[in-house]
């Protein structure tokens, strides 16, 4: 029951927190699970993590004291600490890019009751002489159905705070809390803090732009499957300074996706593989690469079938097929594309199938 006695209300809150600790943890886990179901696997979203927490008892009391106590006591207004802690339950969603924050909010919001939304992104961006924490906070109402518990359960709280941030924003928030003094300090230190915050904001923007330009590069990469090099570079590639005829991740994928339409080429593997090809043959062009694969893939696919029929637990993935194509295209240049045992097995098969190979290349 509310009163004007802070010491009494502090004890009441501590008792409330302890009595409901187990149920609060259950509610937090249920909210985290529900939100994960709404977001994970959603196309176009890259979620780094979803985490939940029950706010520490003493942290709640400190927040109340710093934010509400003086005003309530000055107004001689009765209070209960728990009524002013809207973030006793908290869920944090960390995504990769800033433009995903709105997507996350739009996906989560319809499943809960919206109490309040605090847009810290807009607040910071509207202030031209201040940098700071950016993110989106939403106070949301939930029911027993949302957390998977019995309908007749008496809920100690009926709302939670949802924070949506990027990885960069999350990192800044953690580091920002470690800076002990940020207001009553010399101007030179304030400027350094603001510069540091600005660098984090710039990193967020650059990561998003690199993602967008990478996607544009993939879409604009020249099509080598027409068997000849295009005399005109696309505007995106030209703007980014790509060398005419260069074999890079973008042009590799354009070619590889043509020959292996049902295979997903993971970016980190593409990066490593393309660098290996350029290490084996530093001057190889995308046209030369396409030509080798196009001319040799028929032979290699027949060897692939032969190999897999005799090795039930082994199979050729597209990278292995391409390695064999390169080796067959120029055994001296691409000697390192295959291990010695693989070379010997392939060469032995080729020796028995020379007429087939010659016919295929004719």
Model confidence, pTM: 0.67
Phi, psi of 5 (to 5 degrees): -95, 105
> Quick one: tokens of 68?
């509400």
Q: Judge residue 301's burial from the number of C-beta atoms within 10 Å of its C-beta, 0-12 exposed, 13-18 middle, 19 or more buried.
A: middle
Question: Any bridge partners for residue 79, and if so which?
Answer: 3
Cβ neighbours of residue 298 closer than 8 Å, sequence gap 6 or more: 360
C-alpha distance from residue 2 to each of 11, 160, 173 (Å): 12, 22, 34
Per-residue confidence (pLDDT) for residue 125, from 0 to 100: 54
C-alpha distance from residue 164 to each of 117, 140, 228 (Å): 11, 13, 48
Per-residue confidence (pLDDT) for residue 328, from 0 to 100: 95
Phi, psi of 113 (to 5 degrees): -90, 125
Q: pLDDT tens digits for the chain (362 residues)?
A: 788 899 999 999 999 999 999 999 999 999 999 999 999 888 878 899 999 999 999 999 999 999 999 999 999 999 999 999 999 999 999 999 988 999 999 999 999 999 999 876 555 555 544 455 568 999 999 999 999 999 999 999 999 999 999 998 888 888 887 776 677 777 788 788 888 888 888 888 888 888 888 777 767 666 666 544 443 344 444 444 444 588 998 889 989 999 999 999 998 899 999 999 999 999 999 999 999 999 999 999 999 999 999 887 888 899 999 999 999 999 999 999 999 999 999 999 999 986 544 444 43
> Quick one: tokens of 359?
């016919």
- Scanning 221-260, the segments in alpha helix (DSSP H) are 235-239, 249-259
């Amino acid at each position: 029951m509310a009163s004007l006695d802070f010491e009494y209300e502090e004890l009441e809150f501590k008792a409330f927190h302890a009595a409901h600790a187990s149920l609060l943890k259950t509610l937090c886990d249920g909210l985290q699970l529900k939100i994960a179901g709404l977001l994970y696997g959603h196309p176009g979203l890259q979620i780094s993590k979803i985490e939940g927490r029950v706010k520490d008892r003493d942290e709640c009391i400190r927040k109340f004291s710093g934010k509400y106590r003086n005003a309530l006591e000055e107004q001689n207004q009765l209070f209960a600490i728990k009524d002013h802690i809207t973030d006793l339950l908290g869920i944090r969603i960390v995504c990769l890019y800033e433009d995903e924050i709105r997507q996350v909010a739009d996906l989560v919001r319809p499943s809960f009751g919206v109490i309040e939304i605090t847009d810290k992104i807009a607040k910071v961006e509207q202030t031209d002489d201040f940098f700071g924490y950016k993110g989106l906070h939403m106070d949301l109402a939930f029911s027993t159905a949302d957390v998977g518990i019995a309908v007749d359960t008496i809920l100690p709280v009926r709302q939670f705070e949802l924070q949506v941030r990027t990885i960069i924003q999350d990192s800044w928030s953690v580091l920002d809390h470690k800076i002990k003094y940020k207001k009553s300090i010399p101007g030179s230190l304030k400027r350094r803090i603001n510069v540091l915050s600005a660098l984090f904001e710039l990193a967020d923007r650059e990561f998003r732009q690199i993602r967008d330009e990478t996607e544009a590069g993939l879409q604009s990469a020249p099509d080598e499957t027409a068997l000849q090099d295009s005399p005109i570079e696309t505007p995106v590639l030209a703007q980014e300074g790509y060398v005419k005829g260069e074999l890079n991740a973008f042009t590799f994928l354009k070619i590889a996706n043509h020959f292996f339409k049902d295979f997903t080429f993971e970016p980190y593997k593409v990066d490593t593989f393309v660098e290996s090809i350029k290490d084996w043959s530093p001057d190889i062009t995308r046209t030369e690469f396409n030509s080798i694969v196009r001319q040799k893939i028929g032979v290699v696919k027949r060897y692939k079938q032969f190999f897999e029929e005799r090795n039930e637990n082994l199979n050729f993935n597209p990278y292995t097929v391409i390695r064999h194509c390169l080796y067959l295209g120029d055994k001296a240049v691409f000697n390192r594309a295959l291990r010695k045992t693989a070379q010997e097995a392939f060469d032995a098969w080729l020796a028995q199938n020379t007429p087939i190979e010659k016919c295929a290349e004719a």
